[in-house]
Amino acid sequence: MAKPDLLETVEVETGRNPGASVIWLHGLGADGHDFEPLVPQLATPRERPLRFVFPHAPVRPVTLNAGYSMRAWYDILALDRYADQDERGIKVSDAAVRALIERENDRGVPASRIVLAGFSQGGAMALHTGTRYPHKLAGIMGLSCYLPLSSQLAAERSEANLTTPIFLAHGTQDPVVSLQFGEESRRLLEEAGYRVEWHAYPMPHAVSPEEVDAIAAWLRQRL
């Protein structure tokens, strides 16, 4: 099977010759620039250099938004944990994310020094790919998101990342991806044996300053 074309990315390096990378996937309708401004709060020039890779998702029609085309990792029919899911779209994006991990390998960064992260739909992809990736990652981070295709996890997951730390955070007032949806995903992962660090913040579908501080601390532990 031919490798997918590499996604276009925004990249920020916090120093020369970074030896670790964070691949961070944006949410529905955003792009790779969305979390770029957070980098100075997540790593300082005095720390070990990191490379932040923020890919742009492809533009595609999204059923939830009346079929309008926007950047999306896969189609969303409804924000309901019982709704049908775009399995094909998820798996196409999974291949694209794996290609980005492999490019970091080619640039001298092993999987064990890579954190796969994402917000909302991007967080869902981070959880999907991270639990299935065949080589151990440094960490998996999902913000304001859920675990897609959860019924397939037991059959598809990779033992390589069963002990990989997972950071999950969610807003208690999230009107887009409900807190209950996030908590259910946390429970499913924990019942499957994953080590989950869970944070809940009094916020909507967003990222708070307290959350950014917790992410920075977690990244320092991982990388």
Cite the active site residues: 120, 174, 205
Helix, strand, coil: what percent of the chain each, to 5?
35, 20, 45
> What whole-number distance in Å separates Cα of residue 1 and Cα of residue 162?
27
| Residue 42: both structure tokens together | 């997540």
| Helices and strands of the chain, counted as H and E runs | 6, 9
> What whole-number distance in Å separates Cα of residue 174 and Cα of residue 195?
24
Nearest CA among 129, 152, 153 for reference residue 139 = 129
CA distances 77 to 66, 67, 124, 155, 218, Å, are 10, 10, 15, 24, 33
Decide: 218 and 189 in contact? Cβ < 8 Å: no
Decide: 71 and 59 in contact? Cβ < 8 Å: yes
114-119/69-71 β-pairing = unpaired
| Residue 156: both structure tokens together | 């598809």
